[in-house]
Chain A
Amino acid sequence: KAGVTQTPRYLIKTRGQQVTLSCSPISGHRSVSWYQQTPGQGLQFLFEYFSETQRNKGNFPGRFSGRQFSNSRSEMNVSTLELGDSALYLCASSEIAGGPGITNEQFFGPGTRLTVL
């Protein structure tokens, strides 16, 4: 099976712009989670989608949004970019949805490196 793919791999934007990142999960996986990784904060959970519905959301401002399509592919959007949004954005897919007490194996993509100037 092909792994999780993310596009683009690298992106440079300026403050105030918006950006859309894409994630294609492993075939058959219906859950997609997004994480932001920075040297200072580490990996932080953004949101999880399962069957086109947002199930969980992390503590990020409303500028961060996402969606999932019927084929399980997911996109995340960041509007009004700030310098602090520079990070590696990781997408992870799994067969089942996560949740309290649920251990699901997540498969990560290589990430999109976003630089905001």
Chain B
Amino acid sequence: TQLLEQSPQFLSIQEGENLTVYCNSSSVFSSLQWYRQEPGEGPVLLVTVVTGGEVKKLKRLTFQFGDARKDSSLHITAAQPGDTGLYLCAGAQTGGGADGLTFGKGTHLIIQP
């Protein structure tokens, strides 16, 4: 079983601050996705990273895939209350097995005004 560890589990910061959340594994993934989930809703895909070392930017969000494709990070610049939510990373297997996407348990992010 491929596991994804996310840290921190909970993060509460003030509006305007910067933050980074991490997604780590001892396994290699062919790709990694980041989702945001708000209360009462399903996760919404933010980005998919595929190539080791890849960096993608989505407005104030910067996503990086580790060189070895075992880890990823999400950096938010100048956080806003609208960024509040559960951030989930999910990895797609490189081969063998058949258990779909592997999700981390998520980082609960609260941005206080």
Residues of A within 8 A of B (CB): 4, 33, 35, 41-45, 48, 55-59, 90, 92, 98-103, 105-111
Contacts and interface: CB of A to CB of B under 8 A. Distances in A.
B92 A110 contact: no
Interface of B is mostly: loop
Contacts, number: 75
B42 A92 contact: yes
B82 interface: no
A98 B104 CA distance: 18
A42 B94 contact: no
A45 B43 CA distance: 14
Given A45-B101, A59-B99, A4 B94 contact: no
Given A42-B106, A101-B95, A109-B42, A58 B30 contact: no
Nearest to A44: B103
B97 A100 contact: yes
B98 A57 contact: yes
22 contacts: A4-B42, A33-B100, A42-B106, A43-B90, A43-B103, A56-B98, A56-B100, A92-B42, A98-B92, A98-B100, A98-B101, A100-B94, A101-B94, A102-B30, A102-B92, A103-B33, A103-B48, A103-B50, A103-B92, A108-B44, A110-B40, A111-B41
